[in-house]
Structure 1
Amino acid sequence: MSTPHRLNPGDTAPAFSAEDSRGETVSLKDFAGSRVVVYFYPKASTPGCTTEACDFRDNLASLASHGYTVVGISPDKPAALEKFTSEQELNFPLLSDPDHEIAEAYGAWGEKKNYGKVSVGLIRSTIVIDEDGTVVAAQYNVRAKGHVAKLRRDLGIDS
């Protein structure tokens, strides 16, 4: 497998629909007219993904005050997402992408290196989409710890 096609600022964000932690269908079009932070993470309830999700949770009010909605996407099934949402008191939707179709469309699925070992899987990524569905930022291979602070700086949101 080769490196996935990555999105770039100016690209149209690929449409998607997926089940959330409650089994309800959520689509990108549900957020039309809003700015959306779509972040991809490998697995619910793992240390890095918990750190990142809680960081988004703790910054959600500030992001929302600047017009951003947050959506997390992983290959986990809705039941695992529900458990993760409940345990961590997450206040934004988590979507299930078990066939990684959304991740592939967003360039967040492909070859990655971890401790020198190459594997194929979900690449921790964050895509910011404007009100018109245009990508304004696309960050790949992000670190779980400190990512939201960096994203806030990149978006011009004061800490």
Structure 2
Amino acid sequence: MNGIDLLSEFVVTGSLCGLRIDSPVGDVDRVMQGDYIDAVDGGGLVMRRDYGLMEFGFNSDSEFGWVLKGCGIQLHRLPYSPDLLEELRNDMGIDFQPYTTWGELSQGVSHRGGGSLEVSDQDTFLKYRMPSTKVSVIVNNVKEERDDYVGYGDVWAVHLG
């Protein structure tokens, strides 16, 4: 699968590789491959799990244990981390490019029948949100060239929650 297909599906369905809000941590363990870092807050009620490109946020639930409350794909990490690109290909069969433009992603969302997106200007970023799925696409709005950093019109991150 290529990165645009994964991202488009995420925006339109609110599901990342089959994972949705309230998925148990065991489902994340079954879907995700590779190493990760867990960080639990002092009270033990919130956990963040970082796989490098993908991050997952969990809340502790007395009945179900850790349940997913949000997740995201940190695309801004790809230009300076070619190892992440290789890991995604090898571990999950997902082929991302170092940069993803909003134009490419917008077209993918449209082809999947995605509805209208709410747009807000956050100065250095534009935020495109699909209200029905609670997925937001954060796009770089600073007029700069690409290098080890995403350029103007490139997707910074895609978040659910």
Q: Normalising to structure 1: TM-score of the pair?
A: 0.28
Higher helix proportion (structure 1 or 2): 1
Q: Normalising to structure 2: TM-score of the pair?
A: 0.28
Between 1 and 2, higher relative CO (CA 8 Å, sep ≥ 6) is seen in 1
Query: If you compute each CA radius of gyration, which structure gives the higher value, 1 or 2?
Result: 2
